[in-house]
């Protein structure tokens, strides 16, 4: 039906958007970690010697690896789902979803929502902690973004660190919002499928949709032979 194809097309667009968000989060987080010599600056603390900013303490590198890994995992799943539904739209004439796969998608959506929520909170709180440390350590600095133009101790590169962390956080929250919509769409399709509103026309005898009840009635309801 047209409604089923429209809902799946919307779901496909959401998967593509989630793929982009996951790549952006992973790429910007990895870029910031690389610019700081492999140090994970989420929840990091800095010090200022009067001319340059140096790292006083940093989080474990596994924290940034976790953020990147979750983002990449979501991106890979979304990319695979996008390819599958593109194939279905191009090849299949009738689109049907089994209830078991809808249940799997609901569980998958719940898992991704949990980890994306954790990732978004880590990026938000970790960035705020770093920015608070910078504002407190460097005089005459009122915003973390202004520290991008300051000198950092070599080989640290603080250019665009705030912008990249902000992009990573924003992409994580947008990804989280999109997966909420995906879960709602799948749940709606499941409810509609249970009532038969999204199902196509019923197949006739031996799977032939062209066979109608009127055509089969003479076969099953033949008049009795005279004795």
* Per-residue pLDDT reduced to its tens digit, 91-137: 765 666 677 888 888 999 999 999 999 999 999 999 999 999 999 98
CA angle 186, 192, 198 (to 5 degrees): 100
Share of the chain above pLDDT 90, in %: 46
E strands, the chain, where? 40-48, 53-59
CA distance 139 to 118: 33
CA distance 115 to 118: 5
Q: What is the pTM of this model?
A: 0.80
Mean pLDDT over residues 41-61, rounded? 90
Cβ atoms of residues 159 and 148 within 8 Å: yes
Write down the residue that tokens 């039906």 correspond to.
1
Phi, psi of 101 (to 5 degrees): -75, -30
Residue 141 has pLDDT above 70, yes or no: yes
E strands, 49-145, where? 53-59
Instruction: Look over the chain and give the mean of its residue pLDDT values, rounded to a whole number.
Output: 82
What tokens appear for 103 in the block? 């249940």
- Cα distance from N-terminal residue to C-terminal residue, the chain: 50
């Amino acid at each position: 039906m047209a409604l089923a194809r429209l809902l799946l097309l919307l779901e496909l667009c959401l998967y593509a958007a989630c793929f982009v968000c996951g790549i952006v989060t992973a790429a910007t987080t990895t870029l910031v970690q690389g610019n700081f010599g492999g140090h994970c600056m989420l929840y990091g603390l800095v010090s200022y010697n009067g001319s340059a900013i140096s790292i006083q303490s940093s989080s474990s590198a596994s924290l940034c690896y976790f953020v990147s890994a979750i983002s990449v995992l979501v991106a890979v799943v979304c990319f695979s789902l996008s390819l599958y539904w593109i194939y279905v739209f191009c090849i299949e004439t009738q689109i049907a979803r089994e209830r078991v796969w809808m249940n799997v998608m609901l569980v998958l959506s719940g898992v991704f929502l949990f980890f994306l929520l954790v990732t978004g909170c880590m990026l938000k709180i970790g960035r705020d902690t770093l920015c608070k440390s910078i504002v407190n350590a460097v005089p005459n600095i009122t915003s973390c973004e202004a520290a991008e133009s300051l000198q950092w101790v070599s080989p640290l590169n603080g250019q665009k660190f705030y912008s990249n962390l902000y992009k990573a956080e924003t992409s994580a929250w947008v990804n989280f919002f999109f997966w909420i919509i995906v879960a709602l769409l799948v749940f709606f399709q499941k409810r509609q499928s249970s009532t038969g509103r999204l199902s196509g026309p019923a197949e006739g005898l031996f799977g032939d949709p062209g066979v109608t009840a009127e055509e089969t009635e003479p076969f099953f309801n033949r008049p009795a032979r005279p004795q």
